[in-house]
Structure 1
Amino acid sequence: MDPQVVLDLYGQGFYLIVLLVAAVMVPSLAVGLMVSIFQAATQINEQTLSFLPRLIVTILTIMYLGPWLLTKLTDFTNELFINIPMMIG
């Protein structure tokens, strides 16, 4: 197996992980920022006020994007298994 093939697989896997994590974390970060701005404007320092909206948005994002996330992951895995003979030999 050529080292370039290993590096390409590593790069594709890393890109997929970053894409999947960003799809879930970006909406949560946006809601966290909005809540932080609201807390700074109103001087309310309640920790649960920032936690609960982020939790709800994260759960809704996973519910909405879950099929897409799973499809991307299974496509990558299927492509990897299909290409194993070409990578080895």
Structure 2
Amino acid sequence: MTLTLTPDVVLTDTGHGAVLLDERHGRYFNLNATGSFVLHALLDGAGHDQAADRLRERYGIGTQQAHTDVTALVDALCAAKLAHA
């Protein structure tokens, strides 16, 4: 799965994660450090499984939880029309 941000979305890293600005609607979306980590992995070309593995390794969580977290982030970004999977 390749994830890309929609053209009207701007990603800005912060000291605590990242902010996504939806320029079409003037809405901001805040990601914590974990969400930002996963988003960057996916935007850099990691697939779902690779992003989950990186998340698991970095934060010491279980495989199922890592997959659930990656799926939840991708689903939320797509549902908000911030990204395409």
TM-score category, normalised to shorter length: 0.3 to 0.5
What TM-score results when the alignment is normalised by the length of structure 2? 0.36
Larger Rg: 1
1 or 2, which has the higher strand percentage?
2
